[in-house]
Amino acid sequence: MSELDQSDNTPTNFIRQIIDQDIEQGKHDGRVHTRFPPEPNGYLHIGHAKSIVLNFGIARDYEGLCNLRFDDTNPHKENMEFVESIQQDVRWLGYDWQERLFYASDYFQQLYDFAVELIKAGKAYVCDLDGEQMRAYRGTLKEPGQESPYRSRSVEENLDLFARMKAGDFADGERVLRAKIDMASPNMNMRDPTLYRIRHGVIHHQTGEAWCIYPMYDYTHPVSDALEGITHSLCTLEFEDHRPLYDWVLDNITIPSHPQQIEFSRLNLEYTVLSKRKLTQLVDEGFVEGWDDPRMPTIAGMKRRGYSAASIREFCRRIGITKSDGLVEIGMLETCIREDLDARAPRRMAVMHPLKLVIENYPDDQQEMLEAANHPKDESMGVRQIPFSREIIIDQADFREQANKKFKRLVTGGEVRLRNAYVIKCEEVVKNNQGDIVEIRCSYDPDTLGKNPEGRKVRGVIHWVSAKHGVKGEVRLYDRLFKQANADKVEEGGRFTDNLNPDSLRTLTECYFEPALVDAEVEQAYQFEREGYFILDSVEAGRQPMVFNRVITLRDSWAKIEKGGGK
């Protein structure tokens, strides 16, 4: 699948059509230059991946450029851990910003100078209204706002007050710089929006304590885009109503370029939340282990869970880019990872709920190496050796004392094939004093290695691990983080965390892995036959016992529940 996201495979969309037209008409000198502008106040998630794939994908396909730019104007919520994780995640997804790593804070001086230009032109003023008064003056969607009493300040007074704001003469919230646009505008964003506010006592991760005034997003973004020569500034739909302000800023300062803002719908995904505020809450309140918890929809979490970058890119390709909002089925994402892993995950055997099985007619001092294909359809993946011996471990779920014909596994007196090995027959069941099954005693048919027995049909195949050779370890069965598709939907008075799935993690500590898994590496997911896809946990890697994470089940076990069939 790694080849699937090549340019000729990316379906067109309304943004690409706009760009095609722009190129044809020679707009932006025929250049294409995009940017991905994360705010370093959290880890990237699958929604950001949609934006990354869009921005970097367009740059690649149009032989243009894509910048990585941190939108770092809110220092109290930002930190270097986020700055670093974001770079790691973009790179891991397969994209390269080359030497074009920028910070909006790189432009603080220029942003200040442009603000002075606006003041001099009578297009910005220092306002002393406090937050509450500002809201009251702003009006509503139905009623126009009122002009601030400070709106008519002279240019000189504004220049002086703004310089003193910068110099630290005023407290937080005492004054702001506002654009002078139109308090009667039907677009609330145009009612003299704030351009700068005062923030003392925070140490910015890039600029330290150099500034105590910080520019607002709506002012910073167009200026940063223009300074970088961005041609198409792609953002999510909630910024549609901010576009007039984006354009107003660029039309009223002396700057040679005017990027074009285009909005698309953000990704919403079933069974998870993609708001950074909510994800932060899950981390801070201990509902998950951290930002890279394998249940999180973060890139770091998905990577640790075992999702490949290619499967995430493929998912983004399939959902496409539109202007209509909706909730994307989680099945779309799960299908992408299943298809990817089915094609490239080597097969292995592992037992989750061990049950001892003794093959009575197999000599105690004997063992042999059996050969098994690493992949049923891809011979190039080669073979491995699996040790076989008198005592093996099977899964408790693969044995029943009695069962009807639908049970295609081992029953008392019945026969079953051991995957990659012989046909065995259950001769006896051993129980402890409480009546629990502790051991199965079987016989094996030596003439059934790689061929069917004569004159009888064996209907089932089960997996197993040699007791003596198997490696004991832990498996973490991850499932969806939320129990309902619309994870955000809450009853009155409830919290979204009420919707968390209590079974999103089950830990099994008595598992047996076939010996070949000792060499497992964190980048390589495996199919544990009949169980699902698993990957070595990257955080626990190198420690004993080994810990494997379940990436995904072989089939969608939730489909049955949703149709009322039970899990």
Site for ligand ATP contains 236 (CB under 6 A): yes
**The one segment of 20-28, 33-41, 56-64, 359-367 that binds ligand ATP by CB under 6 A:** 33-41
Q: Answer yes or no: is 413 a known binding residue.
A: no
Closest by CA to 419, choosing from 379, 352, 467, 370, is 370
Token representation of residue 344: 């490239």
Active site residue 39: yes
Q: Cβ 407 to ligand ATP, closest distance in Å?
A: 45
Token representation of residue 479: 């499932």
Q: Which of 48, 153, 232, 313 binds ligand ATP (CB under 6 A)?
A: 48
Q: Answer yes or no: is 312 a known binding residue.
A: no
**Among 16, 27, 31, 39, the one annotated catalytic:** 39
Contacted by 473, from ligand ATP, Mg ion, none: CB < 5 to 8 Å by type: none
CB count within 10 Å of CB 31 equals 17
Active site residue 431: no
Contacted by 50, from Mg ion, ligand ATP, none: CB < 5 to 8 Å by type: ligand ATP
**Among 199, 266, 278, 472, the one annotated catalytic:** 266
DSSP assignment of 528-552: ETTTEEEEE-TTTTTSSSEEEEEEE
Site for ligand ATP contains 281 (CB under 6 A): no
Q: Which of 19, 58, 118, 267 binds ligand ATP (CB under 6 A)?
A: 267
Token representation of residue 136: 């009251």
Active site residue 334: no
Q: Which residues contact 25 (CB under 8 A, 6 or more apart)?
A: none
Site for Mg ion in 35-94 (CB under 5 A): 39
Site map for ligand ATP, 108-147, x if CB under 6 A?
Answer: ----------------------------------------
Q: Which residues contact 174 (CB under 8 A, 6 or more apart)?
A: 128, 198
Token representation of residue 261: 């803002």
Q: Answer yes or no: is 236 a known binding residue.
A: yes
Query: How far, CA to CA in Å, does 27 sit from each of 149, 221, 232?
Result: 42, 21, 11
Q: Answer yes or no: is 71 a known binding residue.
A: yes
Site map for ligand ATP, 62-81, x if CB under 6 A?
Answer: ---------x----------
Three-class SS of 181-196: CCCCCCCHHHCCCEEE
Q: How far does the chain reach from its first CA to its final CA, in angstroms?
A: 30
Q: Answer yes or no: is 168 a known binding residue.
A: no
Closest by CA to 83, choosing from 207, 180, 193, 190, is 207
Q: Answer yes or no: is 498 a known binding residue.
A: no
* DSSP H stretches of helix in 139-242: 155-167, 217-227
Binding site for Mg ion (CB under 5 A): 39
Binding residues for L-glutamine: 71, 217
Binding site for ligand ATP (CB under 6 A): 37-39, 47-48, 50-51, 71, 235-236, 266-267, 274-276
List residues with catalytic annotation: 39, 266, 276
Binding residues for ATP: 39-41, 45-51, 236, 266-267, 274-276
